[in-house]
Structure formats: C-alpha cells, structure tokens
Amino acid sequence: MIPGKYRSVSGRAASNVNCGLHLVIQASSLPEKNKVRFKQVEFKLNKETPSFPGRLLQHDLERNYSSRQGDHINLVSSSMPSFPILQRSSEEKILYSDRLTLERQKLTVCPIIDGEEHLRLLNFQHNFITRIQNISNLQRLIFLDLYDNQIEEISGLSTLRSLRVLLLGKNRIKKISNLENLKSLDVLDLHGNQITKIENVNHLCDLRVLNLARNLLSHVDNLNGLDSLTELNLRHNQITFVRDVDNLPCLQRLFLSFNNISTFESVCCLADATSLSDITFDGNPIAQESWYKHTVLQNMTQLRQLDTKRVTEEERRMASVVAKKEEEKKRESHKQSLLKEKKRLTINNVARKWDLQQHRITNIATNQDRKDSDSQDHCQNDGSTISAFPEETGSLDSGLTSALQGLSVTDTHLVEVDGDTLSLYGSGALECLDRNWSVQTAGMVTTVSFTFIEFDEIVQVLPKLRIKFPNSLHLKFKETNLVTLQQFNALAQLRRVDQLTVDPQGNPVVNFTLWKYYVLFRLSHFNMQKINGTEVTQNDMIMAERLFGILAHVASSELPQYHLISILGDARKKQFRYLLETKGKKPGIVNEENNDSKRLVGESTNRATLNYTTRDFYNEKLEEIKEKKKFCKIYIEDLVKEATEINMKNEALQKLWPQMFIELVRDAVMEIRNKNSYMKLCLQQITDQK
C-alpha cells in the first residue's frame, strides 16, 4: 500500500505520489476548505510554534516531490477477528518513522498498529472508521487526522497527552467530550459534524484554533478557559446569540457567516472583545439591515476587517455620524411618545371626570324624585362608574411606567393646537382663550373642537372665540351635553361657521329628527356647507325654511315692539328704532331699505329674537325679577285698594246723594224763609270776614 503523502497544500493540483507503500492512491484534488485550512494550520504552526511537529511537517512538505516508491505495508488479518494488524516494512519504518498515512484505505475500523510507538503523525482520512480505537499505545502522537470518516463519538484519546492537532472534520460526532487529557491541544477541528453545544473545552488553555463550522450550534457560550484561542470558526451553524467571547483574551478572528444572528444585541459581548480584529457576519439576517454596517463599526471600534474587507477611516467616521443621528431620532421619538402618552392620560382623566359629573347630575335628579335619602345609592353609583375604569388605568399603568415618572397625571384639562385645529378637553381648557395667542397661530386655526365641556360653558366664551380666532370656520362638539334645539341659537353670536360637527356621543340632541333643519334655519346667514360631514343641499335649506319659517315670522312680526327690543338688546336697537319710525312697516315685509339694513347687520332680523340663555342665567334673571314682581303686586294692590275705595265711596255717594240733596235744598230754603234775618246774617258774615 502506498501511504498517502501529505497532499500538496500549496494549492497546486495534487499529483500522484508514490512512496514506500504499494497502494496507489489517487490523491484527488481536495476541497478548497481543507486546503486552506491546512495551509493556515501549517502556516501558523510554522510561525508560532517552532517546535518539533512544525519542523516535521515542513520537512515533509519539502520532501513531497522527492518521494519514490516505497515499501509495502502488509495488512495481515490478526487473531482478533475484527481488527486488522498493520505492519510496515522496515524500510518504510526507517524512512517515515514518525508518520503514517492510511487515507482512503476503505478502513472501517482502526487497525492495530504494532511497533510504531514513535509515531507522531497519523492520518486516517477518507475512510469509514466508526470508532477511534487501538491507538492508545501511540503515546507520542502529535497529529491525528480522522477527517471524513463515520465517527460518532470522540473516544479512545485519553492516553494521547501530547496531541497537538486533532482533525475530526466531516464525521458524525454529536457531542464534544472525552478531551480531558488533551491539554496540549493546539488545533481542534470539528467542522461538518452534528454538534449542538459547546462544552468540555474549557480546559484547553493552549488551543489556538477551534473550528466548529457546519454543525448544529444554536448559540455560543461556555468559552471561558480558552485563553489562547485566536481563531474561532462558527460558519454555517444556526447561531442566534453569542456570549462569552469577551472572555477570550487572544481571539483575533471570529467567523460567524451564515448563521441566524439578527440583532446586534444578541452579539453585544463582541463590543468588549478588545482583541478581535476580524469578524464576518455575512449570510446572517443582521447583514441585510440598513443599520448593520455602522452599528457594527460603531460598537466594535477595534475591528480591522469586516466580512473580509478592510475597515477604512471614512467608514468609521460615517458610522459614528449615523449612530449619533440615530440617537437623536430615538430621543426625539421617545419625547414624542411621552408627550402623546401624557396627552392620552390627560384626556382619559378629563373623560373620567366628565362621566362622574354626568352620573352625579343624573343621580341627584333621581334623588329628588325619590323621597328617601339615597346617599348610599350615590356612593354606589360613583363606585360603579369608577370601577368601569380600572381596566383602563391598569393598562395605562402597565405601559410606560418607568418613562412616566415625573409626569403629572392630574391635569384636568388639555389644550392642543395642531396646525389648523384647536382642541379643548375639559372645562378648564376654556380659560386658554384668555391667553395671548400669536397672530400667526391664531390665524391658522380653522377648526375648533370641544370635548368633555358643558355646552352652557362654551356659550359664555363664544364672544372671546370670535375675537381671538377669527378664522375658525369649523366647530366640533363631542360630549358637550347638547340636549335642546335652543342651544344652537347661541352659535349665532359667531362671525361665521362653515361646518358643524356634533358627535352623537354625549350629545342627545342628535337623536332628534329635526335638529339639522333647525340648525340650518337658525344659522341660515352662515350659509353652512357641511353638517356632520354631509353636504348641505339646496333641498335641505328649503326644507328648513319650510319647517321653521313661520316660527321666525311669528317671532319677529307678532311680538310687541317693547318685547322685541328688550330681547334684542343694544345692537339692534338702532335698527328697530329706524323700523319704528317708518310706521306701519312690519320687519317681516321685504323692503329695499330693509334688505340693505339686514345685510349690513349680517343676520336676518326675524331670527335674531331666537336666543339662548343658559339655564343658570335664566334662573338668575327670574330671581332678579321676583323683587320687581313683588313690588308690582303690592303697587297694584294699593291701586286696587284705592280704586275700590273710590268705587265704594262713589257707590255710597250714589246712595246718599238724593237724601243729601234734599237736605241741602231744605237747609237753603229754611235759611232764606225769613228775609230780614237772612239779610242780617249775610251782612254779619261779611263784617266778620273783614
């Protein structure tokens, strides 16, 4: 048999080599990897370990081409039925005393090697060996090559204390084990096996190269103790995360190509691996990410090569710039999300308050109905409304808890200006209209949205709204307690409204059939375009006029003048005085002059009498009038008393008059009966007067 010489590892095609053994082996061209590997291995060995094995190999390389036919090796079947015994001719033994090549010998078992105790290199490549056996006596062995066999378990190596290179690539090994005694191991090659876990290598403190490519590793850890490791090959596995690499003080090259790494966090220990200068990630999901290159470069400033390409200064600079930008963006979005969260919490708070208020109001109303005190019920109701919310608060709390430290959640209102929309939540928000708004901001606002605010409160600030936000054309109301059609009268105060949105939620008025028509009728001078998102058609306007036109007519023409004026107030007084002076002309009649004056005012006067005063105001007014009413009552009573007295006196006089008249006449006649005495009496009276 011809021993297989070392393949020509210089990259040239292997040639047929003949040496001492008879077997002619066609040393076929080898897979690239192995060649490369070997080259590296040998190179390294030559460089760093100028010890015996290295020189041995180099020596053999030089002798590669000066081989000649050698002796024969006889494989003699031994007494033990399964193990063949290997014998070499003595010439061979002398020539190649320290190395033995048995590649491609179709061996299924390791033969017993007799009398070769000096062997340093043993090559069993390309056979069918299933178990490592019968080599325990070769205690000087330094180089053992079992590449491309069928070995399922690492075993039988416990006596090979001098072993430096162990090549077990392309076998069926499932577990790294039984390497305890191989403390001098320098190169361990386990590529192309079925290993799932890195273990039992922690004692290999001289190991410099570890190849675990093409295995079934899913993660990398348990690497402590490999204090000499400079190269770690983990290509073609299923690795998702990497740990412990920062515990390898000498690691320079790490190959992670074609694995399953998708985030930098899963390999974050690499940032601390200061010795690392060469790393590959190609074929991982992480390499497809847009942020891949600069994230790696930013975090691993010690790198010289990435994916077999040199890292330039330019790239490094770019990486840091991009990283900074990312940081900025993240900070910004974090701020934004905090703001949004705060807004959401505030709105929720306002909503909760609003609901409690509403429930409380209805509760009081029902309390008044019932005679017995219902304080218990009140509390229960409150409890029920509060309990409706814990899910919400729960979910809120579980959210950005840490981020929200320091944010106040007790805000009772929220004011938000978002481009062209001013949003107000909660009645406290109405105070914002008192603030000084910049002309630009205020001018841009075209939509004003009210939520969780009582409509009666909104009515009071409408004049302010008209002044401060002159361009507001669209009003939105949600949860504002719009219950009667009257309330829409209040909107007439504004300058102009193009669109009106009344959300059914919290606004019962929307349930009425006629509400839209009433709005169109009362606010006809606005020429509204849309109500609740639907366009206003000519038909709608006609219908509105048809339904409520008479109301307007009655409200203006049939009211007595004084009443009209008292309702309309100062602004209209002038106009109505004018109308009064043009006698006989009712405001309802269309007239040239009337039309002009109508247009000037901007609102058809016959609707102006339809006002809305909030309930509170109205009650206040009625209270104020009570005094006057009392006075009037008393006054009229006095008048009546007087009148009845006068009437009584009159009647009494009527009754008594005939009698009185007769007496008067009788007295007069009796006085004049005696002419003389009467004359004397008169003269007497005259002198008395003087």
Q: What are phi and psi of 188, to 5 degrees?
A: -125, 120
In the complex with other proteins, which residue's Cβ is closer, 301 or 557?
557
Residue 418, beta-bridge partner list:
421
- In the set 13, 439, 590, 600, which binds other proteins (CB under 8 A)? 590
Task: Determine the Cα–Cα distance for residues 358 and 410; give it in Å rounded to an integer.
Answer: 19
3-state secondary structure of 450: strand
What minimum distance in Å lies between the beta carbon of 632 and other proteins? 4
Is residue 283 near other proteins by the rule CB under 8 A? no
**Alpha carbon 60 to chain centroid distance?**
67
- In the set 12, 47, 106, 628, which binds other proteins (CB under 8 A)? 628
Is residue 566 near other proteins by the rule CB under 8 A? yes
- In the set 338, 386, 462, 559, which binds other proteins (CB under 8 A)? 559
In the complex with other proteins, which residue's Cβ is closer, 321 or 632?
632
Tokens of 63: 């002798």
Q: What is the DSSP letter of 264?
A: S
**Helix pair 570-581, 592-601: axis angle to 10 deg:** 180
What minimum distance in Å lies between the beta carbon of 486 and other proteins? 6
3-state secondary structure of 77: strand
| Binding range to other proteins, per CB under 8 A, among 44-52, 86-94, 352-360, 564-572 | 564-572
- In the set 156, 283, 470, 588, which binds other proteins (CB under 8 A)? 588
In the complex with other proteins, which residue's Cβ is closer, 258 or 517?
517
Is residue 640 near other proteins by the rule CB under 8 A? yes
In the complex with other proteins, which residue's Cβ is closer, 226 or 564?
564
Considering only residues 648 through 667, tell me which ones interact with other proteins, judged by CB under 8 A: 648
* β-pair type (165-167, 143-145): parallel
Is residue 205 near other proteins by the rule CB under 8 A? no
In the complex with other proteins, which residue's Cβ is closer, 419 or 504?
504
* β-pair type (231-233, 209-211): parallel
Cβ atoms of residues 123 and 4 within 8 Å:
yes
- In the set 268, 287, 404, 565, which binds other proteins (CB under 8 A)? 565
Q: What is the DSSP letter of 179?
A: -
Considering only residues 489 through 508, tell me which ones interact with other proteins, judged by CB under 8 A: 508
Considering only residues 510 through 529, tell me which ones interact with other proteins, judged by CB under 8 A: 511-514
Cβ atoms of residues 277 and 297 within 8 Å:
no
3-state secondary structure of 52: helix
Tokens of 491: 């909107």
Close Cβ partners of 306 (under 8 Å, ≥ 6 residues apart): 279, 280, 281, 293, 296, 297
What minimum distance in Å lies between the beta carbon of 558 and other proteins? 4
First-last CA distance in the chain: 190
- In the set 551, 585, 597, 601, which binds other proteins (CB under 8 A)? 551
In the complex with other proteins, which residue's Cβ is closer, 135 or 485?
485
Is residue 36 near other proteins by the rule CB under 8 A? no
Task: Determine the Cα–Cα distance for residues 297 and 604; give it in Å rounded to an integer.
Answer: 74
Q: Does an H or E element contain 37, and which?
A: helix 32-48
What minimum distance in Å lies between the beta carbon of 617 and other proteins? 10
From the list 129, 63, 128, the residue with the least C-alpha distance to 96 is 63
In the complex with other proteins, which residue's Cβ is closer, 59 or 577?
577
333-337: long-range pairs with CB below 8 Å, 24+: 334/403, 337/400, 337/403
Angle at 559 between CA 554 and CA 562, to 5 degrees: 160
- In the set 560, 659, 685, 689, which binds other proteins (CB under 8 A)? 560
In the complex with other proteins, which residue's Cβ is closer, 462 or 565?
565
Is residue 635 near other proteins by the rule CB under 8 A? yes
Amino acid at 251: L
Is residue 625 near other proteins by the rule CB under 8 A? yes
Is residue 618 near other proteins by the rule CB under 8 A? yes
- Residues near other proteins (CB under 8 A): 484-486, 508-509, 511-514, 543, 545-555, 558-563, 565-567, 573, 577, 580, 588, 590, 609-610, 613, 615, 618, 622, 625, 628-629, 631-633, 635-636, 639-640, 643-644, 647-648
